[in-house]
Chain A
Amino acid sequence: MIYLDNAATTLEKPGVVYKTYFDAVRRYSANAGRGGHRMAMRASEMVSDAAEAVAELFKIDAPERIAFTCNTTLALNLAIHGLLKAGDHVVITGMEHNSVLRPVVHSGCAYSVAAADGFGCIAPAAVANAMRKNTRLVIVNHISNVCGQIQDIDAISKVVHARGAFLLVDAAQSAGVTAIDVVRQRIDMLAFAGHKGLMGPLGTGGLYVGAHVELSPLLQGGSGSESENVYQPSTMPDLLVSGTVNAPAIAALGSAVRYVQALGESALLSHERALADAFCARLREIPQVKLYRSETGGSGVVSLNIAHKNPVEVSSELDTKFGIAVRSGLHCAPLAHKSLSTYPAGTVRFSFGYFNTMRDVEKATDAIYKICKA
């Protein structure tokens, strides 16, 4: 099987991630932050170590500002529902995932959509135009999970802060893939996946919340601290983390982050982009193929359609006849597909990861040639 569905989750992980995970499951699975015995201490130390690794990667000065979650969706919900109040206005972009769109709609707050161009690029002026006097939050998808377009967070951040709003970046596809510096880029909140570009285990993600951002907790419950208090503690991360955490997975995420860090800044982006570039270059020779990809070079995510074929048919043929795993349809991002004019059928998405090779690119393009010829 050739796995080209890394935007959904990375299948293969660095060896150190499996090792940390299995060691932790077997030997350090006491309840982190619950109790004073050495096993519980060891578990909470693993979680703290992972927070330090993530903090270093994203240039966060206080690791305790990071709340680990089970995925990006929970992180986005903690940020959106924790910040918004009745009467607030929100700006989202035309490239957002349903894990942004749905919580924003559910919040009941008025929202506007900053339009994307036909390649999925959001101009800072589009964000500025969508903002109102009462805009409290702007949410931007850093790298599109549909076409790999990378947004200019620095420029968007300037526009957002000039108008006094908070910036929440959905880094589901960018964490680990490209450099993120929450201080320099003035990112107020960063929701990230642990299981995608960072190559950590399934069931990992997190939310960074700047010290100047006050959130109310979406969930309430045991935090292992201030147990006599009937209210959720106000200190991070206990404010946002209730209940037992998945310490082995978080510990393995910590190892994954260290691995990605050692590869060097944007190493994954260079590798994945090179594969995607080669893939697109070969496919441009096939007239039936329409590619959806940034003109200026996106990430390792490429969408395409084949004339007269439904995307679901194509992905099913790739799976059954060629042993290639891709994802087709709307990719939980109907807004993005509307922006790219591929709604409602969607596209076939190929997403390259760190462990893919040029041979995988050749096999995938050969398969597409054959599907087009048939």
Chain B
Amino acid sequence: MEKGIVVYSSISVVHRARKLLKKKHVATHVVQLPSDLGLKGCSYGLECALEDMDGILAYSHEKNLNMKAAYKMTETESGKVYTAYDLS
């Protein structure tokens, strides 16, 4: 299974993004991210359907929601694999 993950600058931004997206009927939920991802920023992110990812990134740029990183997350038998996703 593949999912999108968007990492924002702080937990407050994560919650704000989730609420704004909910108003646009885009379902996301807050997840804690593994600390070995080497994130410079919040340890929390929004998990979303992969097909919503580009729309969420564009909307976050539009709303000045400060993003730190984005990933495509793939669930494999040996665990979750995170692949960097282009933020722009």
A: which residues have CB within 8 A of B? 32-33, 35-36, 41, 44-45, 47-49, 51-52, 61-64, 224-229, 233, 235-238
Contacts and interface: CB of A to CB of B under 8 A. Distances in A.
Interface stretch (B37-45, B50-58, B74-82): B37-45
A81 to B, nearest CB: 22
A45 B10 contact: no
Interface in B2-20: 9-13, 15-16
5 contacts: A225-B41, A225-B43, A226-B39, A226-B41, A238-B42
B10 A225 contact: yes
B88 interface: no
Contact of B13 (A47, A49, A64, A229): A64
B43 A226 contact: yes
A35 B30 CA distance: 11
Contacts of A238: 10, 42
Contact of B11 (A33, A52, A61): A33
A95 B44 CA distance: 43
A326 B10 CA distance: 42
Contacts of A48: 11-12, 15-16
A32 B12 CA distance: 11
B16 A63 contact: yes
B44 A36 contact: yes
Contact of A44 (B15, B38, B64): B15
B12 A47 contact: yes
Nearest to B18: A45
Interface of B: 9-13, 15-16, 30-32, 35, 38-44, 64, 66
Contacts of B40: 226, 229
Contact of A235 (B9, B31, B44, B64): B9
A62 B9 CA distance: 12
A226 B39 CA distance: 7
Nearest to A48: B15
Contacts of B13: 64
Query: Which 10 A-B pairs rank lowest in CB-CB distance, beginning with the nearest?
Result: A36-B32, A48-B15, A64-B12, A235-B9, A48-B12, A225-B42, A33-B11, A64-B10, A44-B11, A225-B43
Contact of A63 (B12, B31, B32, B43): B12
Nearest to B33: A36
B31 A36 contact: yes
Contacts of B64: 61-62
B73 to A, nearest CB: 14
Contacts of A224: 11, 43
Contacts of A64: 9-10, 12-13, 16, 66
A235 B30 contact: no
A10 to B, nearest CB: 26
A267 to B, nearest CB: 27
Contacts of B44: 33, 36, 225
A225 B13 CA distance: 13
B35 A227 contact: yes
Contacts of B30: 36, 41
Given A44-B11, A48-B16, A235 B35 contact: no
A44 B44 CA distance: 11
